[in-house]
């Protein structure tokens, strides 16, 4: 309860768009990528990559299985994968 209060307070203070993807969010994968992946590492490296579906799946599998991001559900992994393939695929401009 106390932690929730702090979380809410800080969320309000920074006025940042935080929190889990909502039904109204047109890009749930983007939100999940930013909040879940971004909670452990910077996003500039993944954003600099241009990988196909095989390689993005490989990266996500490694993050979950090798680097301990086990709290990300399979459904969320799938949403993140779809976003990364779309936004950072091999044909996207750098």
Partner 1 sequence: MKTDPPKLPDWDALRGKLQDSGAAPEVLDRYDEIVSRRSFFGLVGRGGVAAALLGTGAGGYAALSGLFGRGLIPEAWAEEAEQSVSIPGKPGMIVHSSRPVNGEFAPHELADRVTPTARMFVRNNGTVPARAEARDPQGWKLTIDGEVNRPLEISLDQLRQMPATTVHACIECGGNGRVLFNPQPRGNPWARGAISCSEWKGVRLADLLREAGLKDSAVYTGHYGEDLHLGGKDEPPISRGIPIDKAMEEHTIVAYEVNGEELPGLNGYPVRLVVPGWVGSCSHKWLTRIWVRDQVHDGPKMGGYSYRVPAYPVRPGDVPPESDMVIATSWVIKSMITSPAEDFRVKAGDKVKVRGHAWAGEDKVKDVMISTDFGIHWEKAKLTKSSQKYAWNAFEAEVSFPGRGYYEIWARAFDDQGSSQPIIQPWNPRGYLGNVVHRVSGMVSA
Query: Number of residues in contact with partner 1, rule: CB under 8 A?
Result: 42
Question: Is residue 22 near partner 1 by the rule CB under 8 A?
Answer: no
Question: Is residue 73 near partner 1 by the rule CB under 8 A?
Answer: no
Cβ-based burial of 34 (10 A; exposed 0-12, middle 13-18, buried ≥19):
middle
SS3 54: helix
Residues 34-53 that bind partner 1 (CB under 8 A): 34-36, 38-45, 48-51
d(CA 44, CA 22): 24
Q: Which residues bind partner 1 (CB under 8 A)?
A: 2-7, 9-11, 13-20, 34-36, 38-45, 48-51, 54-55, 58-59, 66-69, 71, 90
């Amino acid at each position: 309860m106390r932690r929730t209060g702090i979380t809410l307070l800080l969320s309000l203070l920074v006025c940042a768009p935080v929190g889990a993807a909502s039904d109204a969010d047109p890009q749930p994968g983007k939100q999940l990528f930013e909040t879940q992946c971004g909670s452990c590492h910077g996003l500039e490296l993944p954003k600099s990559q241009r990988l196909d579906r095989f390689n993005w799946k490989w990266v996500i599998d490694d993050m979950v299985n090798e680097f301990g991001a086990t709290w990300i559900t399979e459904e969320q992994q799938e949403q993140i994968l779809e976003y990364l393939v779309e936004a950072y695929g091999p044909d996207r401009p750098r």
